[in-house]
Amino acid sequence: MDSSKLRYDGRVAVITGAGNGLGRTYALHFASRGASVVVNDFGVAAQGETGSATPADKVVQEIISAGGKAVPNYDSVENGERIIETAIKAFGRVDIVINNAGILRDKSFAKMTDKEWDIINNVHLNSAFKVTRAAWPHFRKQHYGRIIMTTSPAGVYGNFGQTNYSAAKHGLIGLSDSLSQEGAKYNITSNTISPLAASRLTETVMTKELLSVLDPKSVLPLVAYLTHESVNVSGGLFEVAGGYVSSARWECSKGAVFKADQTLTPAAVKQRYNEINDFKVGALHPNFKNPIDYLTLMKQATQVKS
Ligand code: NAD
For residues 306 and 300, what is the distance between their CA atoms, to the nearest angstrom? 12
For residues 225 and 232, what is the distance between their CA atoms, to the nearest angstrom? 10
Q: Quick check: 196 and 153 in contact, CB under 8 A?
A: yes
DSSP string, 129-173: HHHHHHHHHHHHHHT-EEEEEE--HHHHH--TTBHHHHHHHHHHH
Q: Quick check: 161 and 106 in contact, CB under 8 A?
A: yes
User: Which residue is closest in CA terms to ligand 1's atom 42?
Assistant: 196
Closest Cα to residue 201, out of 172, 247, 174, 169? 169
Q: What does the pLDDT look like over 185-221, one tens digit per residue? A: 999 999 999 999 999 989 988 999 999 999 999 999 9
Pocket flag, ligand 1, residue 36 (CB < 6 Å): no
- What residues pair up with 147 in beta bridges, in sequence order? 97, 190
Dihedral angle sign, alpha carbons of residues 53, 55, 60, 65 = positive
- What residues pair up with 146 in beta bridges, in sequence order? 96, 189
Pocket flag, ligand 1, residue 101 (CB < 6 Å): yes
Q: Which of 22, 123, 173, 204 to mutate to test the pocket of ligand 1 (most atoms within 8 A of CB)?
A: 22
Phi first, then psi, for residue 212 (nearest 5°) are -65, -20
Distance 17 CA to ligand 1 centre (A): 6
What pLDDT score does 125 carry?
98
Q: Annotated catalytic, 165? A: yes
Closest Cα to residue 26, out of 199, 171, 283? 199
pLDDT at position 37 over 90: yes
ipTM higher than 0.95? yes
Mean pLDDT of 256-283: 96
Mean pLDDT of 81-95: 98
Distance 183 CA to ligand 1 centre (A): 26
3-state DSSP percent of the chain in helix, strand and coil, to 5: 45, 15, 40
User: Which residue is closest in CA terms to ligand 1's atom 18?
Assistant: 76
- What residues pair up with 102 in beta bridges, in sequence order? none
CB burial string 242-271: b at 16+ within 10 A, e below: beeeeeeeeeeeebbbbeeeeeeeeeeeee
pLDDT at position 1 over 50: no
Pocket flag, ligand 1, residue 200 (CB < 6 Å): yes
Mean pLDDT of 94-116: 97
Q: Which of 14, 15, 20, 84 to mutate to test the pocket of ligand 1 (most atoms within 8 A of CB)?
A: 20
Choice among 8, 74, 144, 165 that is catalytic: 165
Q: Quick check: 193 and 238 in contact, CB under 8 A?
A: yes
Distance 7 CA to ligand 1 centre (A): 25
In this prediction the pTM is 0.96
The band of 47, judged by pLDDT with boundaries at 50, 70 and 90, is low
pLDDT at position 118 over 90: yes
Distance 123 CA to ligand 1 centre (A): 10
For residues 215 and 11, what is the distance between their CA atoms, to the nearest angstrom? 26
The number of the ligand 1 atom at minimal distance from the alpha carbon of 41 is 21
For residues 7 and 32, what is the distance between their CA atoms, to the nearest angstrom? 9
Calculate the average pLDDT of the chain.
95
Q: Which residues contact 248 (CB under 8 A, 6 or more apart)?
A: 156, 194, 237, 238, 239
Q: What does the pLDDT look like over 134-181, one tens digit per residue? A: 999 999 999 999 999 999 999 999 999 999 999 999 999 999 999 999
Closest Cα to residue 146, out of 233, 86, 83? 233
